[in-house]
């Protein structure tokens, strides 16, 4: 087959570096913007923080010898050849020592320390370390004993059977925290309940439920438990309260005690005075950036001077590149501010009734397309603005995504926000009798009586979005 050459013409949409930079800046919230700006300032000495005199031209600047304050010899060397050089004073046989960083001790490390007190043989110690190494973050052993037999044979040359491994596993299950080394949730809870010091008859009944009625317990079939164990409801309640004190994730017990507090920094601040709303950007979203005067003077100096040496040419290219990069970044920050304010103003206008009252029932159905059409921007741009952004109002701090929702028709033909429907659903579940929780069919009837045309499967979908369990799992004694 002969090779042929031919010309083809096609049209591609390619984003400029400035557009890519703007899209990335639009997506990050105020909390991360400050860090991003500091990173840019550290990487580009032509960018500084402070008031920007944008209207001042290079011709109006005084040349006061500032160029002497910057030494380009740190960046260029006339004696350096064009090809790159590198130095490696290490042999490939040299041992590279890395100083480990100290960190928090894991629960696996604590288990290994406790095992030192057990009278284990050399093989049992290896088996114990392999078992501990295979525990997940919750403290469970999810690998089968058969798989561990293979691991020990292939990787450690330790030939044992499952019975021997299980014997070592039982010793690990006696360590702290209680419940660690369990293979199932049922085994984990039984191990913990056995270790509890007090409890008396309640403890015995809790163990019977965990051992003999665990399936009924997880599905909240309380009537079947009382019938099988021949106990009354008060006894069952005491036993269940005892079980609920246990920790289903013993391996993560240390981490669970540490509450992670995430600080939310609002990107917008909305104030309301006598029914008049005023929207402003958080100061972190509107930093003062300027070009380095030193670099501007240097650019003029090298542009007007004779560029005879290679170092001068490299210096001119370096300064020009850094200044261009700084200008692009400043323009991107300004464009980010304008886009944020423009978009949030459109959301404010669309949802004005909510911002004046703070009532979720006042939220109108709104999707990204609605705002994109108002501001004449692409939907992806609106999505980036709404991503991880927050607004502080007189009624609280809200995520921008809170204001976006689909619509639902009422009997009168009115379009309402699905958020309004979800709020009614939440209220109905909060007020229900927990002894006989409302099934999805009953929740559907409640909403239909209020004039909302909604099907049972839609109720189930909204319930799942709100992390509300099915009626059976909401049952309480």
DSSP for 180-249 reads: TT-SSHHHHHHHHHHH-S--THHHHHHHHHHHHSHHHHHTT-HHHHHHHHT--HHHHHHHHHHHTTS-S-
Residue with tokens 């927990």, as numbered in its chain: 434
pLDDT of 258 reads 46
DSSP H helix total and E strand total for the chain = 20, 8
Class of domain 407-474: mainly alpha
pLDDT of 45 reads 85
* CA 268-272-274 angle, 5° bins: 165
Asked if residue 136 lies in contact with residue 248, where contact means CB atoms within 8 angstroms, the answer is no
Which 3 state secondary structure label does DSSP give 343? helix
Does pTM surpass 0.75? no
Q: How far apart are CA 37 and CA 289, in angstroms?
A: 9
pLDDT of 167 reads 94
Asked if residue 162 lies in contact with residue 149, where contact means CB atoms within 8 angstroms, the answer is yes
Question: DSSP label at 250?
Answer: G
CA separation (Å) from 319 to 70, 74, 243, 304, 315?
A: 11, 13, 70, 14, 6
Strands 390-393 and 268-273: parallel
pLDDT of 90 reads 46
- CB atoms inside a 10 Å sphere around CB 192: 21
**Nearest by Cα to 25 from 39, 13, 44:** 39
Task: Kindly give the confidence (pLDDT) of every residue in the chain, 477 residues in length, as a single tens digit, with 9 standing for 90 and above.
Answer: 566 677 766 655 555 666 777 788 888 888 788 888 888 888 888 888 876 554 454 444 444 444 444 444 443 444 434 333 344 444 444 444 444 444 557 788 889 999 888 889 999 999 999 999 999 989 999 999 999 999 999 999 999 999 999 999 999 999 999 999 999 999 999 999 999 877 688 999 999 999 999 999 998 899 999 999 999 999 999 999 999 999 999 987 545 444 455 678 899 999 988 889 999 988 776 678 888 888 777 777 766 665 556 666 777 788 788 888 888 888 888 888 899 999 999 999 999 999 999 888 788 888 899 999 999 999 988 998 888 899 999 999 999 998 988 777 777 667 777 888 888 899 999 999 888 899 999 999 998 888 888 888 989 998 998 899 888 888 887
pLDDT of 85 reads 35
Q: Dihedral sign for Cα 468, 470, 471, 475, please.
A: negative
Which 3 state secondary structure label does DSSP give 269? strand
- CB atoms inside a 10 Å sphere around CB 427: 11
Asked if residue 7 lies in contact with residue 367, where contact means CB atoms within 8 angstroms, the answer is no
Q: What is the DSSP string of 405-455?
A: B-EEEBTT--EEEHHHHHHHHHHHHHHS-TTSPPPHHHHHHHHHHTTB---
Q: How far apart are CA 332 and CA 451, in angstroms?
A: 48
Asked if residue 350 lies in contact with residue 322, where contact means CB atoms within 8 angstroms, the answer is no
H or E element in which residue 150 lies: helix 145-156
pLDDT of 159 reads 94
Residue with tokens 């696996």, as numbered in its chain: 108
Domain ranges of the chain: 107-172, 185-246, 268-403, 407-474
């Amino acid at each position: 087959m002969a090779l042929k050459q031919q010309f083809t013409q096609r049209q591609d949409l390619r984003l400029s570096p400035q557009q890519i930079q703007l899209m990335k800046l639009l997506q990050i919230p105020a909390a991360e913007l400050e860090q991003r700006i500091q990173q840019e300032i550290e990487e580009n000495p032509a960018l500084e923080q402070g008031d920007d005199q944008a209207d001042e031209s290079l011709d109006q600047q005084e040349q006061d010898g500032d160029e002497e304050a910057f030494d380009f010899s740190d960046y260029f060397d006339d004696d350096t050849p064009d090809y790159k050089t590198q130095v490696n004073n290490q042999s490939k046989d040299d041992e590279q020592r890395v100083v480990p960083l100290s960190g928090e001790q894991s629960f696996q490390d604590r288990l290994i320390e406790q095992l030192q007190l057990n009278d284990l043989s050399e093989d049992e110690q290896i088996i114990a370390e392999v078992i501990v190494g295979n525990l997940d973050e919750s403290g469970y052993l999810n690998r089968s004993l058969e798989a561990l037999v293979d691991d020990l044979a292939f990787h450690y040359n330790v030939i044992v059977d499952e019975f021997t491994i299980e014997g070592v596993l039982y010793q690990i299950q006696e360590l702290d925290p209680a419940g660690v080394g369990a293979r199932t949730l049922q085994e984990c809870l039984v191990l913990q309940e056995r270790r509890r010091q007090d409890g008396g008859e309640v403890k015995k009944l809790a163990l019977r439920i965990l051992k003999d009625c665990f399936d009924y317990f997880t599905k909240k079939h309380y009537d079947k438990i009382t019938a099988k164990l021949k106990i009354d409801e008060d006894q069952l309640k005491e036993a269940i309260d005892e079980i609920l004190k246990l920790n289903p994730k013993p391996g993560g017990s240390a981490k669970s005690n540490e509450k992670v507090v995430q600080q939310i920094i609002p990107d917008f601040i909305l104030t309301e005075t006598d029914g008049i709303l005023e929207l402003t950007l958080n100061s972190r979203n509107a930093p003062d950036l300027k070009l380095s005067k030193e670099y501007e003077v240097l650019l003029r100096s090298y542009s007007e001077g004779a560029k005879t040496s290679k170092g001068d040419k490299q210096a001119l290219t370096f300064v020009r590149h850094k200044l261009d990069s700084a200008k692009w970044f400043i323009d991107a920050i300004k464009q980010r501010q304008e886009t944020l304010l423009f978009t949030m103003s459109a959301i404010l206008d669309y949802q004005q009734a909510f911002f004046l009252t703070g009532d979720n029932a006042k939220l109108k159905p709104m999707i990204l397309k609605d705002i994109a059409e108002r501001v004449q921007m692409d939907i992806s741009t609106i999505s980036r603005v709404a991503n991880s952004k927050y607004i502080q109002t007189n009624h609280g701090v809200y995520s921008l995504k809170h204001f976006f929702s689909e619509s639902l028709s009422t009997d009168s033909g009115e379009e309402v926000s699905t958020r309004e429907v979800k709020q009614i659903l939440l209220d109905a579940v909060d007020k229900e009798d927990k002894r006989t929780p409302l099934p999805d069919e009953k929740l559907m009837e409640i909403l239909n009586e209020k004039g909302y045309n909604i099907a049972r499967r839609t109720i189930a979908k909204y319930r799942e979005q709100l992390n509300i369990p099915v009626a059976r799992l909401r049952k309480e004694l």
